[in-house]
Amino acid sequence: MQKSVTATPPRALRLGTLGLRTRSRSPSTPRPRRYSFAALDSFRYQMATSKVQPESNSKVLILGAGNFGSCLAEHLGDSDHRVFLWAREEDVVKHFNSTQKHSKYLPDHTFSKNIVAVGPELPDGTFINEMDVVLFAIPTQFLRQNLEILNSSFDKGKLPLLIFVNKGIEIGTDALTLEIIADTCGVEVAKAATFISGPSFAKEIVRRKPTSVSVVSFTEAEANKTAALFHQPHFRCYTGSDPIGVELSGALKNVYAIAAGMSDGLGYENNTRAMIITRGLAEMTCIGTAYGASPLTFLGLAGVGDLFLTCSSSSSRNYTVGKRLGQGEQLDTIIETLGSVAEGVSTAKSVRELIRKLGVVNCPIAERVYEVLYEGKSTNTAVTELMLLPQSRELTLPPTIGKPAEKLLQRLGL
């Protein structure tokens, strides 16, 4: 017989080993700082700021009608929310509203009748203020320009639930999405923002294949609302409080997916791919730790979960870019014909900068991916160089912990 799962866990477990705050703690009691990674401390959680609890029949605006935006529109439309899917292409809007089909993504799929396409102009303030939820499914490199326009449309005292699903780091600034939001819309909006990340190919969600994701925010109530909005028997949401670690995980795994694809494209087999995944995870954790994220976050769905998924499937655009490079195609041709964004290509540039700024020395895979993408190094040479590296310890976390995260948290007043 199975044991009951309703028994109260020991106090230490209920509080968590990570310094979680209890509601009963008096303000004079010292905070239980058992864990030093800046971005993880849950006492930084903020009060809820968005206007409603979006349980059912919420009005949801999805910005970006690509693979993932369309898929999430379908997921929410399917759960009886009223979804407005913004596309910047007029023909996509017209085709969708006359056929309930998307002309570019999943063209054979009939989408939920609860979805209406809007665009090509960005919705105005009046429209946005009627929304309970605004979800951004816009590639990272284009997010800033859209937020700059949308900022004036947000009523800061009555924000909709704001959700971001992009997985990348901005070129030129090395900014995470949190910083892009803070720069364009202010720190209060950044603190309220929620991030969804994890192993979740769009087309599999539409086919209702069991899927799990991380849902994180500095504002606990906003993460809970987002999880409640998305949670379904085929779609599990696990909440958390390390948006910096989750963002880094989602962005970095794309770079290692390119490396895994290169290896497969060159004809290497399972051992090599497993090596890249595992050493990739070690590199991701080093970069994340140096940044100030919790190393534990990299062991979660957004970290190893998504790394494993994208490094081992040709459904991944990033893996596909790597594989085609390994087979000898040119990057320009691959990007022109891919038909969809591969965030790892731009993120590889930002990661290179970040590695330098953080002084992280042991990221040879990320360095080789950059050199193949941007310096004309052949994939064969990259692999040979990796195999000829001197022997080293398997795991060494960097000694300097947390500067960029501390700076960001200070800026957010957390």
Ligand X SMILES: O=C(CO)COP(=O)(O)O
235 is annotated as contributing to ligand binding: no
Stretch near ligand X under the rule CB under 6 A, chosen from 184-192, 193-201, 240-248, 391-399 = 193-201
CB of 86 to ligand NAI, least distance (A): 8
Work out which of 88, 94, 101, 236 binds ligand NAI, going by CB under 6 A.
88
The entry of ligand X, ligand NAI, none that residue 306 binds, CB within 5 to 8 Å by partner kind? ligand X
User: Counting contacts by CB under 6 A, is residue 350 touching ligand NAI?
Assistant: no
Q: Are 39 and 244 in contact (CB under 8 A)?
A: yes
In SS3 terms, 222-233 reads as HHHHHHHHHCEC
CB of 344 to ligand X, least distance (A): 7
In this structure, the number of other CB atoms found within 10 A of the CB of residue 120 comes to 14
Number of residues interacting with ligand NAI: please give it, by CB under 6 A: 23
101 is annotated as contributing to ligand binding: no
d(Cα 315, Cα 338) in Å, to the nearest integer? 12
The entry of ligand NAI, ligand X, none that residue 360 binds, CB within 5 to 8 Å by partner kind? none
Q: Which two tokens stand for residue 310?
A: 């994208």
Determine the length of the chain: 414
DSSP string, 309-343: HHHS-TT-HHHHHHHHHHTT--HHHHHHHH-S--H
366 is annotated as contributing to ligand binding: no
Of residues 106-165, which lie at the interface with ligand NAI (CB under 6 A)?
137-140, 142, 146, 165
Catalytic residue (choose from 225, 253, 323, 349)? 253
CB of 218 to ligand X, least distance (A): 22
Of 359, 357, 379, 360, the residue nearest 368 (C-alpha): 379
Q: Which two tokens stand for residue 259?
A: 């490396």
Sequence letter at residue 17: T
Stretch near ligand X under the rule CB under 6 A, chosen from 6-14, 198-206, 368-376, 390-398 = 198-206
166 is annotated as contributing to ligand binding: no
Q: Is 253 labeled as catalytic in the residue annotation? A: yes
Q: Are 152 and 128 in contact (CB under 8 A)?
A: no
User: Counting contacts by CB under 6 A, is residue 69 touching ligand X?
Assistant: no
The number of helix segments (H) and strand segments (E) in the chain equals 18, 8
Of residues 316-335, which lie at the interface with ligand X (CB under 6 A)?
316-318
Of residues 159-178, which lie at the interface with ligand X (CB under 6 A)?
167
d(Cα 82, Cα 130) in Å, to the nearest integer? 12
Of 271, 259, 349, the residue nearest 310 (C-alpha): 259
Spell 375-398 as b/e; 16+ CB within 10 A means b: eebebeebbeebeeeeeeeeeeeb
User: Counting contacts by CB under 6 A, is residue 343 touching ligand NAI?
Assistant: yes
Of residues 254-273, which lie at the interface with ligand X (CB under 6 A)?
254, 257
User: From the centroid of its chain, how far is CA 253?
Assistant: 10
Q: Which two tokens stand for residue 199?
A: 């192993």
User: Counting contacts by CB under 6 A, is residue 226 touching ligand NAI?
Assistant: no
User: Counting contacts by CB under 6 A, is residue 199 touching ligand NAI?
Assistant: no
Q: Which residues are annotated as a binding site for NAD(+)?
A: 64-69, 142, 202, 317
Residues acting as catalytic residues: 253
Which residues contribute to the annotated binding site?
64-69, 142, 167, 202, 317-318
Interacting residues with ligand X (CB under 6 A): 167, 199-201, 254, 257, 306, 309-310, 316-318, 342-343
Binding site for ligand NAI (CB under 6 A): 64-69, 88, 137-140, 142, 146, 165-168, 200-202, 340-341, 343
